[in-house]
A and B are shown apart, each in its own frame.
Chain A
Amino acid sequence: MTSTAWVVIAGVGAITFLTRASFIVFADPRRFPEWIRKALTFVPAAVLSAIVVPGLVMPLGEFDPANLRLAAGIAAIYAAARTRNAFVAILAGMLSLWALQWAVG
């Protein structure tokens, strides 16, 4: 395990730095084809959604649309859209989840 772990750590460190530094340090974004730049604009929405949606509707690995996290997540979405404040939205989500867990017992 251990030597494998260090290979993974070094590899992931290199990947996260090189993707961050790509255009800031190494390349000029204007020299890249339009379709690549176009595709990149959809990356954050796609990656974030691929993480958030399962976290809301299948928190235990099984599809469960009636779970408390989805209800708490909807409260957080409402707070995020309404206040545009990350702190308020995260707080709203956690407090909703705790309140629901307490209410359900």
Chain B
Amino acid sequence: MRPTLHSRLAFDTPVTDPSPPTARHAFWTGCRDIAPVLAGTVPFGFVAGVAPVGAGMSPTESIVLSVVAFSGIAQLVVAQLVAVQSPVALTLVAAFIVSLRFLMYSASIAPHLAHLPRRWRALLAFLMTDQGFAMALQRAGQPGDHRFLHFHALGVGLTLYMSWQSAVVAGAILGAQVPATWSLDFVVTLSFLVLLVPLLRRRAELVAAVVAGAVALAAAGLPYRLAIVTASLFGIAAGVAYDWRTRR
């Protein structure tokens, strides 16, 4: 585990108690620690519930998509591609590209969970999100008793899951009634913005982000909204190239 990764991704969310003595305490501490993040995830979930309905899916389909995928980016990408009637295979490729970041999160967090039974690991993997990952690494990087880290992560994950799904259900059912002048969809951009900003302190990642952003604008006209996929791949390549050049 590289401590730099934790310090780059974590928010300085106040941590209520550095060394919870019991599993139950760790669980409730996790529920409390993630609460400030709900300011972004709840309105974002509402938008993620509305978007597939706006694209032509039924409210039930929008809700089931959210229950199984539990990923705002993936849900929005599906909505965008369903709206332009993209082929199924292309929708799945796009969902895979935006889910690549889970591979990185999974690799970073795996050493902390390696001692757990398979069922626990599968459950925590299912509940892992951008926000939950940042919280877990921040927690693991702190000094103190980490015996109940998985209960903390479970508290974080379940709190996010329940509030996310409630917001999605509300969005899927009531979404059409929110006036467009509220600009609620801007919460999506802001939710990712607050995850992105702490990443930009390292030069190579800044390069990856700048190139991805520029390609996303240049490629905006691509059919089936392929801009995100194209931009992500260019950004990753730019980061690798920059890193490779500065090493030699």
Task: Tell me, in angstroms, the Cα distance from A95 to B175 when the chains sit together.
Answer: 21
Contact assessment for B128 and A20 in the assembled complex, using a CB-CB cutoff below 8 Å = yes
Q: A43-B101, A61-B220, A84-B11 are in contact. Are A53 and B36 (CB under 8 A)?
A: no
Q: Which residue of B lies closest to A61 (CB)?
A: B220
Q: Is B162 an interface residue (CB 8 A)?
A: no
Number of A-B contacts (CB under 8 A): 287
Interface string of B177-190 (1 = CB under 8 A from A): 00001010011111
Contact assessment for B39 and A90 in the assembled complex, using a CB-CB cutoff below 8 Å = yes
Q: A93-B193, A97-B183 are in contact. Are A25 and B118 (CB under 8 A)?
A: yes
**Interface size, chain B (Cβ < 8 Å):** 95
Task: Tell me, in angstroms, the Cα distance from A11 to B233 when the chains sit together.
Answer: 21
Q: Which residue of A lies closest to B64 (CB)?
A: A9
**Interface size, chain A (Cβ < 8 Å):** 70
B212 contact set on A, CB distance < 8 A: 45-47, 49-50, 53
Q: Which residue of A lies closest to B122 (CB)?
A: A25
Would you call the interface of chain B mostly helix, strand, loop, or mixed?
helix
Interface residues of A in 67-95 (CB under 8 A from B): 69, 72-73, 76-77, 80-81, 84-87, 89-91, 93-94
Task: Tell me, in angstroms, the Cα distance from A72 to B190 when the chains sit together.
Answer: 9
Chain B residues in the interface with A (C-beta under 8 A): 5, 9, 11-13, 36-37, 39-40, 56-58, 61, 64-65, 68-71, 73-74, 78, 82, 88, 91-92, 95-107, 109-111, 113, 118, 121-122, 124-126, 128, 130-131, 181, 183, 186-200, 204-206, 208-217, 220, 227-228, 231-236, 238-240, 243
